[in-house]
Chain A
Amino acid sequence: MTKKKRRGPPRDQAARPAKAPSDTKAAPPERRGFAGFLFRPPGPSIFPPVFASLGQGLLAVATTPVLLLAPFVLVLIMWLVLLAFGLEASPGRLVNAISLAPISVQFDAGTGVALHGTTWAFLVFVNGAMLVRSVIVAALAGVAVDRFEGGTASLWAVVRGLGAFPTVLAMHIASFGLITLGNIVFFGLLGALGNYLAIFLLLALIAVFSFVPIVAVREARSVGDAFRRAYRAARSPSGHLPLVTLYFFLLPIVGGTFSPGGGELTANPSFALWAYILVGTYLQVAFMATFAYRWMVAEPEVPEVPARRR
């Protein structure tokens, strides 16, 4: 965040093409092997600082009525629909109802298991949930991108975001597939060690998938191209891991654990619990916006072609 100078002019005058921070160079980053982005980068980051990014995300959502209020209403609707399906669960889990992939898919899978066990009905539920979720995430990504482009988060932004639906759906399907595979491999074959590897997998997927909807909205590329661009951004010298880790422990771990009333099963959350869920939802959307901002700043620096191997 920078010091405010004046109220901004209309979008067309204010918005200018993105530029990378001054300390970054346009030279393509070196490849550092699989999952190298999870470790300390050897060079300067192509992304803005973590807390500056987070500040932009918090500010964008808090000052955009659609981004702030629509997710709140969506959470209530989700809860009512799940109750209609017969769910008996702790409402505290709703903190992750609207979240980044693959956490969101974990939420859907956990809900599906609670409703149907591991049956065909579970698969039907999860696939249906991923369809709905993809619409929501695509629309939110469209609004977030539009906000940082100086727009007014209008209906047009939502429609633009929905254009990214195929890519976002593919991301959720990939999340479900990889988590399922990870569970089989990590927990089924590796025992206790699998727990750590499962966390590693989640962090890696968050790091990549946090950019995918934004790439799809901003660049309107094919599904494969959007994934490749997001992957290259995530594995560039970035310092991406601290923000991903902060997100992972702040919301899925801490947020999902310390809700008022603990893990009590109820259909009727108290005022305090609703407030907790709504604040958590705000933070989830703020993190989405944060990653949108980071992508948009770093976008010109993300290589179009795979970086040369060191």
Chain B
Amino acid sequence: MSRGSGCERNGCAPSRARFALLGVAGVTIVVASLARPAAAEPVGWSQFQGDAAHSGVGPEDGPLPPYRQAWTFEEPGSDRGLSAAVISGEVAIAVGVEGVYAVDLGSGVERWSVPRAGGPLASPSLGAADGRTVLVYTEGEDDESSAVVGVDVAKQEELWRTGLEDVSRSGVTIDAGKAFLGDDSGTVYAVDLESGTLLWTLERQGQVLSPPAAGGGVVYAPISDAQSGQVQVTAVDADTGPQDGNALWTFEPPVAGRSLSTPTLRPDSLVVGVSERLLVALDLEDGRELWEERLNAEPSQLSAPAASGVVVASDLAGGVYAVKPGTGEREWSYQLNELNVRSSPVVVAGYTVVGLQDGRLVAIDLETAELVWASPSGSGAIGAIAVAGDALVAARLGEQGGLVAFVEDPDGELVRIASPTVPDLPLMIGSFAAAFAAVSAVLWGFGRLLLSRFTLETIGSADEGDGAEEDR
């Protein structure tokens, strides 16, 4: 049975006005298609933690836990896994050792790939330039082959390629038509997204290990010098770059740290983790510290706080923290007691989702601070998470690494598990009482046994003279 057309259902009565509208629309489409070389792909989660600010906030309507694993994708012939994914239309794009792969979000099947010349698995980034969706990524194992590359997503053609002074492992951030990244020599680069032209560089001592945050015409780059233990966040005007080598401001934590987390830009502050177990917020104008909150362990340099109504941060030991963005006051913490080296918390519809080194993905309710869902542990650490409509696409490291997608599971069940750091007095006192009774009894018996074979020597008081001992 054929479906009836609009004319059949409603009675076809085309008016002149309708024809006129159709004509105008047609002309507009033709003109637009002529003016733009190719239609830009709709861009979703365009870069590390979603945007240039690294907000890490997904859509309000989900996907909601519980989840189930929908598909996995592995890079052919590689045992290192893939970088953080970015989302363009119906594909997730991630960087592998030998190539950059676009994977169908519905099926996990490879749609296309472009070759890559090795190098660290750093997060790529998507931006719009000249009507195109441009994918920007870095490649190269050494300073001679290191480069930042721009690719037209629609045609999978290389648009430009710009050489770098050293290997880059920071990942790329795109904001306002410019791509920002850093390298292992402490140089921060600004590259024109359309042409790949190098706009400016900022040179500092150390390494840029994570992608800069950008917004409001300013780039905020985290720079770590492992040798001296000095770390800094440097703010640079995105348009002009450093003036006479000088940044707008530089923040150095009062206690020397070994590394910094990836910074997250909020409307009123920049939030960054310092390896001395601190989460700090910096004033955007001058970089002074607005507040700091102590964490139980140091944050990972590969992780960024998520910034929604609360700031959600994680640490290397599996701690997840929600703090008030204005004051840094801790609202709650959840201790997962599993390493988290590569994953950043992502906020999705009232939950924060984070990956762990044992391969688990877990969801915590932001309201109640309870764990509501956890995937089974798997082979390979879960890295950065991208939110793509109705799926979460996570990077997985290791031999069977790649991308793994989770979607809502209507048959799954939520749990409610409080953090182990929340005191459960009946449980705690009960365990103590049992141990107290058992250990006391054993030691008392041990003492009696010893006393049946040996004696406790008795020694006179200091006032009684200077000699003698007595066996009991």
Measured CB to CB, the residues of A under 8 A from B are 1-8, 11, 14-20, 55-56, 58-63, 68-69, 72-73, 76, 83, 88-89, 114, 116-118, 147-150, 218-219, 263-275, 277-279, 282, 293, 296-297, 299-300
Is B462 at the interface (CB under 8 A from chain A)? yes
Question: Quick check: A63 and B431 within 8 Å, CB to CB?
Answer: no
Question: Quick check: A8 and B458 within 8 Å, CB to CB?
Answer: yes
With contacts A18-B459, A114-B296, A274-B436 taken as known, whether A5 is within 8 angstroms of B471 at the C-beta atoms is: yes
Q: List 17 A-B contacts (CB under 8 A).
A: A3-B453, A4-B453, A14-B470, A15-B470, A17-B461, A19-B468, A59-B450, A72-B436, A72-B439, A83-B423, A118-B255, A265-B296, A266-B420, A268-B423, A274-B436, A293-B457, A299-B462
A61 nearest CB across to chain B (Å): 8
Known pairs A4-B454, A88-B333, A271-B438 / 6 extra A-B pairs, C-beta < 8 Å? A6-B472, A19-B468, A148-B456, A148-B459, A293-B457, A297-B469
Q: Which B residues lie within 8 Å of A274 (CB)? A: 431-432, 434-436
With contacts A4-B452, A18-B460, A274-B432 taken as known, whether A266 is within 8 angstroms of B421 at the C-beta atoms is: yes
Q: Which B residues lie within 8 Å of A219 (CB)? A: 462
Question: Quick check: A62 and B459 within 8 Å, CB to CB?
Answer: no
User: Could you tell me the distance between the alpha carbons of A73 and B433 in the complex, rounded to whole angstroms?
Assistant: 10
B233 nearest CB across to chain A (Å): 19
Secondary structure call for the B interface: mixed
Q: Which A residues lie within 8 Å of B456 (CB)? A: 8, 56, 59-60, 63, 147-148
Is B12 at the interface (CB under 8 A from chain A)? no
User: Could you tell me the distance between the alpha carbons of A190 and B170 in the complex, rounded to whole angstroms?
Assistant: 33
User: Could you tell me the distance between the alpha carbons of A2 and B467 in the complex, rounded to whole angstroms?
Assistant: 18
Question: Quick check: B443 and A68 within 8 Å, CB to CB?
Answer: yes
Is B106 at the interface (CB under 8 A from chain A)? no
Question: Quick check: B443 and A62 within 8 Å, CB to CB?
Answer: yes
Question: Quick check: A62 and B455 within 8 Å, CB to CB?
Answer: no
With contacts A4-B455, A219-B462, A265-B317 taken as known, whether A19 is within 8 angstroms of B469 at the C-beta atoms is: yes
User: Could you tell me the distance between the alpha carbons of A83 and B422 in the complex, rounded to whole angstroms?
Assistant: 9
Secondary structure call for the A interface: helix
Q: Which of B412-451 contact A (CB under 8 A)?
A: 420-424, 427-429, 431-432, 434-436, 438-440, 443-444, 446-448, 450-451
With beta carbons under 8 angstroms apart, the residue of B420, B435, B470 that contacts A278 is B435
User: Could you tell me the distance between the alpha carbons of A91 and B435 in the complex, rounded to whole angstroms?
Assistant: 14
Is B466 at the interface (CB under 8 A from chain A)? yes
User: Could you tell me the distance between the alpha carbons of A73 and B296 in the complex, rounded to whole angstroms?
Assistant: 27
Interface residue tally of chain B, by bracket? 35 or more
With contacts A69-B440, A149-B460, A218-B461 taken as known, whether A18 is within 8 angstroms of B455 at the C-beta atoms is: no
With contacts A264-B420, A265-B296, A267-B428 taken as known, whether A14 is within 8 angstroms of B434 at the C-beta atoms is: no
User: Could you tell me the distance between the alpha carbons of A11 and B459 in the complex, rounded to whole angstroms?
Assistant: 10
Is B11 at the interface (CB under 8 A from chain A)? no
Question: Quick check: A300 and B466 within 8 Å, CB to CB?
Answer: yes
User: Could you tell me the distance between the alpha carbons of A265 and B295 in the complex, rounded to whole angstroms?
Assistant: 12
With contacts A59-B454, A72-B440 taken as known, whether A270 is within 8 angstroms of B420 at the C-beta atoms is: no
Residue of B nearest to A275 (CB): B435
User: Could you tell me the distance between the alpha carbons of A268 and B458 in the complex, rounded to whole angstroms?
Assistant: 41
Question: Quick check: B466 and A19 within 8 Å, CB to CB?
Answer: yes
User: Could you tell me the distance between the alpha carbons of A45 and B458 in the complex, rounded to whole angstroms?
Assistant: 20
**Candidate in B294, B456, B466 with the most chain A CB atoms within 10 angstroms:** B456
Per-residue A-contact encoding for B302-317, CB less than 8 Å = 1, 0 else = 0000000000000001
Residue of B nearest to A265 (CB): B335
Question: Quick check: A17 and B440 within 8 Å, CB to CB?
Answer: no
Residue of B nearest to A218 (CB): B462
With beta carbons under 8 angstroms apart, the residue of A6, A18, A116 that contacts B469 is A18
B457 nearest CB across to chain A (Å): 6
With contacts A59-B451, A264-B337 taken as known, whether A17 is within 8 angstroms of B457 at the C-beta atoms is: no
Closest 4 CB pairs of A and B: A62-B447, A8-B472, A274-B435, A19-B467
**Candidate in B333, B443, B453 with the most chain A CB atoms within 10 angstroms:** B443
With contacts A15-B461, A17-B466 taken as known, whether A55 is within 8 angstroms of B454 at the C-beta atoms is: yes
B228 nearest CB across to chain A (Å): 12
Residue of A nearest to B297 (CB): A265
Question: Quick check: A8 and B455 within 8 Å, CB to CB?
Answer: yes
Is B140 at the interface (CB under 8 A from chain A)? no
Question: Quick check: A268 and B467 within 8 Å, CB to CB?
Answer: no
User: Could you tell me the distance between the alpha carbons of A63 and B446 in the complex, rounded to whole angstroms?
Assistant: 9
User: Could you tell me the distance between the alpha carbons of A130 and B10 in the complex, rounded to whole angstroms?
Assistant: 88
Question: Quick check: B337 and A266 within 8 Å, CB to CB?
Answer: yes
Question: Quick check: B458 and A62 within 8 Å, CB to CB?
Answer: no
User: Could you tell me the distance between the alpha carbons of A294 and B33 in the complex, rounded to whole angstroms?
Assistant: 94
With contacts A1-B454, A88-B296, A148-B457 taken as known, whether A270 is within 8 angstroms of B431 at the C-beta atoms is: yes
Q: Which B residues lie within 8 Å of A68 (CB)? A: 440, 443-444, 447
Q: Which B residues lie within 8 Å of A3 (CB)? A: 453-455, 471
